Structure 1
């Protein structure tokens, strides 16, 4: 886990913006198809994922709320919610945790404090440091750009990649520890067959030099 930055790391096994904002973000990124056909790639200086300033959980005056469990019986969960979106900033579970609610259920519970679950469209996971997930992301960057994501950041270039459901790259990302968390959230929160993850977007953060994942739900 990196020091000084919020991180997304999951060591525990899981059990079972609004849409217009994300559409605008992608249209402005001049996404283009790569050799994989279904892969959308933006490789140019661009605006990174922007996140609103959340209010603390006790301040109910705004739409974005921050929630956290700080080392509660071996579990840490820090993130915030807004209309149609969840951000996970720091999740971690100690091997000796005395309780083990799945992170997917914790995430759902925080979202449902303010919004109906059927309004959820996007799940962000910022500053991804989980070794398994990070390794898969870096392999995808090497395959498509010939460079690691961190090298693109150092060269002040923005690289955004997106895969649609059913592609091999999508399946690999969804099979990582953090991808499974998003999948379990969808499986547990919605009636069977009613919602699914349709796309996974990856972008490196210039300030932290770690990737951010976005799971689009429809």
Structure 2
């Protein structure tokens, strides 16, 4: 049986914190962070405009019954070490397209920005899907490509969606850098024992399948 530590160990802890109300040691408390476009907050510049979902995503989106019109949101700090969040939201879905947070920053974490971006337009409890798109972050790509896909005998990149339900592989994906951000978002948004990530879906798109994407399906416990 393949071993993926330390990703697997971290992901297992995250899954337990998410799913179990009394699981000790959770480092991600509920967050009260919020942000608005109008008025603009003094610490951040916020851009908000309507966009349409690219038709190339029809294959991945159509079965999910998600809206075609989305809100494109860009958030950046006005001073201090660089912090930025770019994504799109629609009722039931948030796309995390680009994030940056300097290690020297004292700003909220990217998980909290994700919560704040979605709540600008929609009640938090309507959220069902979190997409992380066009992933190039080294830790996540190397884990998925060189560990999980290779151990499972899967081609990388792949034309197909691969669905991961709770398992060692699922825990490993949750323990990657991008997985940890989404897990932290679940915890800072709802706290422990309220929601779960029912499945993680990995897939590629683009002319040469060069873009790695992850989808996290959020459900009540």
TM-score range, shorter chain: 0.5 to 0.7
Alignment of 1:188-207 (within 5 A): 188-207=188-207
Mapped contact 1:164–1:170 kept (Cα < 8 A): yes
In structure 2, C-alpha distance between the alignment counterparts of 1:205 and 1:48, rounded to whole Å: 10
Name the counterpart of 1:80: 88
Structure 2 residue matching 1:185: 3-state secondary structure: helix
Mapped contact 2:115–2:185 kept (Cα < 8 A): yes
Which contiguous aligned blocks of 4+ residues in structure 1 show a shift greater than 4 angstroms?
none
Measured after TM superposition, the shift of residue 69 of structure 1 is 2.0
In structure 1, C-alpha distance between the alignment counterparts of 2:151 and 2:191, rounded to whole Å: 36
Note closer, same or farther for the CA distance 1:144–1:106 as it changes in structure 2 (3 Å cut).
Answer: same
Name the counterpart of 1:187: 187
Mapped contact 2:163–2:201 kept (Cα < 8 A): yes
Mapped contact 1:199–1:216 kept (Cα < 8 A): yes
Name the counterpart of 2:107: 100
In structure 1, C-alpha distance between the alignment counterparts of 2:75 and 2:189, rounded to whole Å: 20
Mapped contact 1:48–1:206 kept (Cα < 8 A): no
Measured after TM superposition, the shift of residue 146 of structure 1 is 5.0
Name the counterpart of 1:133: 140
Note closer, same or farther for the CA distance 1:48–1:203 as it changes in structure 2 (3 Å cut).
Answer: farther
Does residue 143 of structure 2 align to residue 143 of structure 1?
A: no
Structure 2 residue matching 1:87: 3-state secondary structure: strand
In structure 2, C-alpha distance between the alignment counterparts of 1:89 and 1:174, rounded to whole Å: 18
Unpaired runs of at least 5, structure 1: 1-13, 17-45, 52-61, 153-157
Name the counterpart of 2:128: 121
In structure 2, C-alpha distance between the alignment counterparts of 1:133 and 1:71, rounded to whole Å: 26
TM-score with structure 1 length normalisation? 0.65
In structure 2, C-alpha distance between the alignment counterparts of 1:102 and 1:160, rounded to whole Å: 29
In structure 2, C-alpha distance between the alignment counterparts of 1:194 and 1:70, rounded to whole Å: 30
Alignment of 1:15-164 (within 5 A): 15-16=28-29, 48-50=59-61, 64-70=70-76, 72=78, 73=80, 74-97=82-105, 99-139=106-146, 140-145=148-153, 147-149=155-157, 152=158, 158-164=159-165
Measured after TM superposition, the shift of residue 206 of structure 1 is 2.3
Measured after TM superposition, the shift of residue 192 of structure 1 is 2.8
Measured after TM superposition, the shift of residue 159 of structure 1 is 2.4
Structure 2 residue matching 1:79: 3-state secondary structure: strand
User: Across the two proteins, how many residue pairs are aligned to each other?
Assistant: 157
Q: Report the RMSD for the aligned CA atoms in angstroms.
A: 2.4
Mapped contact 1:48–1:203 kept (Cα < 8 A): no
Mapped contact 2:132–2:215 kept (Cα < 8 A): yes
Measured after TM superposition, the shift of residue 176 of structure 1 is 1.0
Unpaired runs of at least 5, structure 2: 1-26, 30-56, 63-67
Measured after TM superposition, the shift of residue 67 of structure 1 is 0.7
Note closer, same or farther for the CA distance 1:48–1:70 as it changes in structure 2 (3 Å cut).
Answer: farther
In structure 2, C-alpha distance between the alignment counterparts of 1:146 and 1:111, rounded to whole Å: 34
